[in-house]
Chain A
Amino acid sequence: MRGLSVEFGSGVERVTAVRGLDLDVRAGETVAIVGESGSGKSVTSLAITRLIEHAGGKIASGRIGFTGRDGRVRDLATETPESMRRLRGPELAMVFQEPMTSLNPVLRIGEQIAEAVMLHQGVGHAEAMAEARRMLERVRIPEAQRQLTRYPFQLSGGMRQRVMIAMALSCRPRLLIADEPTTALDVTVQAQVLRLMASLQRELGMGLMFITHDMGVVAEIADRVVVMRNGEKVEEGTAERIFDAPEHPYTRALLAAVPALGSLATERLPVPFEVPDGPSPKPQDTVRGSPVLEVRDLVTRFDVRRGIFGRLAGRIHAVEHVSFDLRPGETLAMVGESGCGKSTTGRSIIRLEQPQDGTIRLAGRNVTQLDGPTEKLLHRTIQYVFQDPFASLDPRLTVGFSIAEPIRTHRLLAGAAVEQQVHALLEQVGLTAQHAQRYPHELSGGQRQRVCIARALASEPRVIIADEAVAALDVSIRAQVVNLMMDLQSRFGVAYLFITHDMAVVERIAHRVAVMYLGQIVEIGPRQSVMEDPRHPYTRRLLAAVPVPDPRRRWREQEVDDSEVPSPLRAIGDLPNIEPLVEVGPDHFVARHRVGGLY
């Protein structure tokens, strides 16, 4: 690729998304393109396959030389649409980020894979289906024959991404472009998919262009790294060189913002991220007093009904006998993978879901049964920050109105004092008073999440439940928001129940960690002792799967466990095996499930 520029729109509204990009990918080589949102990395990948034209963009200049299987070199920037279509599949293939939405929901898995085979290899339906089955076996999907007739919604996210990979590789492409293929997956599933992609790449000898924002993933898989920012390449080099001796300041800032698991192994307390040119951060010693939130034996189950009369067919055991305390100024990280019940636990505490059993005490008062006063207390004292700052602010209301609403609802202030308080809150979260007049769409993702935090602070809560509150943010923004939350904690003594899947963020922010698996807390204790000395087999598996941003430590695990987490859906009367938590160290508790016999 030489001097590639990609533009969107025309006339005065023209935006250049990629500017003068040079890039090489050799056969059998893995090149990672890294950068944050708006860096142009996805646009580059769509430009190579010319799918950019369907997304409203066009290649303005430059050439993309592509050596096909027949040895001919074509310029992809100028090929006809029909010729490009013939190249997509057998020569160039793509895997996208969202396995949930990238497969056609109304077509069977087998048909979707066979379609590409029939189109490009000119074989009949039966033969294409046989090939589809072989591909499913190749990406290690169990019972491949049976999966052929299933629909995407019947598969888990990890399985769908395997299907996407099977589909992309079904015609043995020369170049595979993978755009954030593991971002939507859980860490253990991510580890499985990364290893699968690497081994298939070796087998087929294809070039792999891997687009990601995750430096840990880059270290795991890349031979060479290209760092992009605002549509331009800022640095390029081998993975080792980029990680050991980054030259460009942006690359250095990007790497500094990447939380490296193990960097706080010797520190007992959480420590904010380092800020370039800022003072070196101090450990966060903020835990004071007796518990503000006490949860005992919380149980939340969802009925699953089937059949003609909606017969009760089973229950999803989302939360099973979960108990924990949260003290003022403390951050308890609730970690685990999709479906483990960590979000449902948070939602059950503030009664977005109705728990079946258990007690919840807030500042010493029992708020399990809600009446008028306790409901007010609950909703004022506990606030929630959700994952998606784009979806959790009303697009038709100004930011100021959204922040003022809890103040007015709880009648904390009246008249002009409300507005002053809104301005003060905005300044506390690093925005300005002028932001109160803005609408959510005028703000960036990081700014919106700051607004959500300001809104949560508005009712002067003692507990904030942050449900994947930084997961949707770019790394540098994520570090800023985490630092903001820690700063607010040291100033106001607010306690966080920090629900997340990101172990590296946990290491930064948490005083204590609770690991959830299939609705239960299987391990809970001080962050340092849980992460440095994990006792439960699931905790170990989770920590082992976290990619480390160091290319020299890749493939440190010989074989990844290829199994899937079992479903929390159980038949009526089939109760899960709940083991009591046993103290194994100071304040460190583990459920003594027999290894492998957990369920």
Chain B
Amino acid sequence: MLAFILRRLAGTVLVLLTVSVFVFGFVRLLPGDPARLVAGPDATAEDVAAVRADLGLEGPVWRQYVRYIGQTLRGDLGRSAKTRQPVIAEIGARFMPTLWLTLVAMGWSTLFGLAVGVLSGVKRGRWEDQTAMVLAVSGVSFPSFWLGLLLIDLFSVRLGWLPTGGDDDWRSFVLPSITLGAGVAAVLARFTRSAFVEVAGEDYVRTARAKGVPERGVIWKHALRNALIPVVTMIGLEFGFLLGGSIVVETVFSWPGLGRLLVDSVSFRDYPVIQAEILLFSTEFVLINLVVDVLYAVVNPEIRLR
């Protein structure tokens, strides 16, 4: 198991180095002089030189890369072109709100998605299954900006129960996390259902029944654990996507997270922030995949012990 994790970690480092090359090359591949582009049309020669130094565009390329990696490892991601604040501080402030929102959304949608998926799988073809699958198709097909606006209209404007935006207390989490998690819950429900239906037809499920295991045990002990093997991968992928911060949901609910930061920095051409965000998203994604692979090995002994 340890060897497995170490091997995966080594692979992770390799992926991150590759990503860093892309992020590093991204500014250098921009047409024209990125320093002038960032400094703006009215900038003086000194301003441009300062920006160039700031962006780390001086000296031979390999030395620039080594410097970039060194700074990145020390947590120095440069300064935002817009606010002149260190990028790490900008991102740090936005990271926690996105993380919390993601955790809450993933939490409810995983529980709900799995429960609905298993219910549909067990009651295959009956009204419970059909209702659940209609809901799931709706969950996937509703655009989140529209769902978000509908929820605000109903619960905030008409009923006045919940705030329309911001991240003040638990009440402000409710609507954005529902909006964010609806699609995930729907995808997970459908996925769990099909995995469950497939496993329910396996020989070992028949074996469990043949030795007199109660139906509850057949479902939860014998079928679900096997059905979860593919679902775990799915959960990890969804989690990775959400952690990037949802541009739509954060905009609709004025949520001060990474999604909105990305929109702001792109519209302002704030390259240091964009670079840092790409690096952050990639790191998150790769780490989550690592966790998923480890979890995969936990539920599947064949991977763990091979």
Contact = CB atoms under 8 A, between A and B. Distances in A.
A51 B215 CA distance: 12
Contacts of B203: 96, 98, 101-102
B301 A105 contact: yes
B200 to A, nearest CB: 8
Interface stretch (A16-24, A84-92, A199-207, A479-487): A84-92
Interface in A71-119: 85-90, 93-94, 96, 98, 101-107, 115-116, 119
B226 A104 contact: yes
Contacts of A87: 212
Nearest to A55: B206
A442 B207 CA distance: 31
Contacts of B208: 104
A105 B211 contact: no
Contacts of B206: 51, 54-55, 96, 102
B185 to A, nearest CB: 25
B150 to A, nearest CB: 42
Given A104-B222, A104-B226, A115-B213, A96 B207 contact: yes
B210 A88 contact: yes
A241 B203 CA distance: 35
A415 to B, nearest CB: 45
Contacts of B30: none
Contacts of B209: 51, 54, 85, 88
Given A101-B204, A102-B203, A308-B7, A94 B302 contact: no
B226 to A, nearest CB: 6
Contact of A93 (B3, B210, B217): B210
Contacts of B7: 307-310
Contact of B212 (A86, A96, A103, A104): A86
B277 to A, nearest CB: 32
Interface string A158-175: 000000100110000000
A89 B207 contact: no
Interface string A42-60: 0000000101001100000
A105 B212 contact: no
A356 interface: no
A8 interface: no
B6 interface: yes
Interface in B34-54: none
B210 A103 contact: no
A154 interface: yes
Contact of A105 (B6, B10, B213, B302): B302
A106 B300 contact: yes
A49 B7 CA distance: 48
A308 B10 contact: yes
Nearest to B218: A54
Contacts of A49: 210
A331 B298 CA distance: 49
Interface string A309-336: 1100000000000000000000000000
Contacts of B213: 85, 115-116, 119
B207 A308 contact: no
16 contacts: A51-B210, A54-B209, A93-B211, A96-B203, A101-B203, A101-B204, A102-B203, A104-B204, A104-B226, A106-B301, A119-B213, A151-B302, A168-B210, A307-B7, A308-B3, A310-B7
Interface of B: 3, 6-7, 10, 202-204, 206-215, 217, 221-222, 225-226, 229, 299-302, 305
